[in-house]
Chains A and B, each alone.
Chain A
Amino acid sequence: MRTRRGLSKLLVEPAAVATGDIAFNLIVFFLVCASSQPSTGRRQDLPSSEKSKQEQQNKSIEVSLTRSATMVTVNGDPMKSVEFPARIVRLLSQKQRPEDRVVIVKSTPDTPYQHWIDITSQIQDAGGSITIQREEQRTEVVGQ
């Protein structure tokens, strides 16, 4: 009997105040876990359209991209993507003025973003500035 009385004295309930704190900490934990979006990236400055038109009048480097991630066309000359960094560095090193270092990037509509970002990153790293040239899409109704 003596032992039982001693045990009942030891059973102490945790303070109810603590449950709120536990809930709060759990929410913070799950919020931190949920925000797993990448927080890194790459800044890209595109010249304004008027400026880029002026620059395009000069002889600029033209890079064409297609669906194939292994091929790039530079000034009409097709090459493997792995050869592109060295080629763009060589071409840009011949251009001294910043306005001459504009690279026109033309992409077919099915060019994947991963391929596009790989090539444009290499152009930026080589000291070039990028201008996008898009084909105007026109819908023409042919006689029924």
Chain B
Amino acid sequence: MKIARKPMKADVPSVAMGDIAFNLLIFFVILARAQDDTHVRWEPAKAIGVQPNASSRVSVVIDTNGKIHLNGRQIGEVQLAEAIKGLLGSQPEGKRTVLLKVHRTAPAEKFEPVIEAISQAGGEMVHVLNQEVKE
């Protein structure tokens, strides 16, 4: 007579699901930070009639100290045009948007060369601004 063995359970503990989700999230957050510039300090200028921005692969920031950052990494004025050109690659028109974030008090000697570099690289420039509220 055969003794029927009790079937053994081999379930994955459901507690681990939360940990897996957590690790996946951290992985994607780290991946996303490669193009992130949230750590750069700048204060946007205000303007009337601003529109929602299209998504963009390239963003240039001039921070409170007048330093230039391309996709969150500090870069020199001279290398900027070539670097933007490289990032835009052979994207067609309409997909060559470059977000320009300039600190509101930055002087023309800082932002004009950046505007020129974006233009040289064939980028479609969008100034990131806040909506001006008139009282």
Question: Which A residues are within 8 Å of any B CB, using their own CB?
Answer: 16-17, 19-21, 23-24, 27-28, 31, 34-35, 37-46, 48-49, 65, 107-114, 116-118, 121, 125, 132, 134
Question: Which B residues are within 8 Å of any A CB, using their own CB?
Answer: 14-15, 17-19, 21-22, 25, 29, 38, 44-53, 62, 99, 102-109, 111-113, 115-116, 119-120, 124-131
Q: How far is the CA of A82 from the CA of B103 in the complex (A)?
A: 23
What does DSSP make chain B's interface, helix, strand, loop or mixed?
A: mixed
B52 touches A42 (CB 8 A): no
Q: How far is the CA of A37 from the CA of B41 in the complex (A)?
A: 11
A24 touches B50 (CB 8 A): no
Q: How far is the CA of A78 from the CA of B12 in the complex (A)?
A: 77
B45 touches A114 (CB 8 A): yes
- Least CB distance from A92 to B in Å reads 17
**Inter-chain contacts of B113 with A (CB < 8 A):** 134
Which of A28, A110, A111 has the most chain B CB within a 10 Å cutoff? A111
16 contacting pairs across A/B (C-beta < 8 A): A17-B17, A20-B15, A20-B19, A38-B128, A38-B129, A41-B127, A43-B124, A43-B126, A44-B126, A110-B107, A110-B108, A110-B109, A114-B45, A121-B47, A132-B115, A134-B113
Q: How far is the CA of A28 from the CA of B15 in the complex (A)?
A: 19
- Contact partner of B109 (CB less than 8 A), chosen from A37, A38, A109, is A109
**Inter-chain contacts of B46 with A (CB < 8 A):** 114
Q: How far is the CA of A43 from the CA of B128 in the complex (A)?
A: 9
**Inter-chain contacts of A116 with B (CB < 8 A):** 108, 111
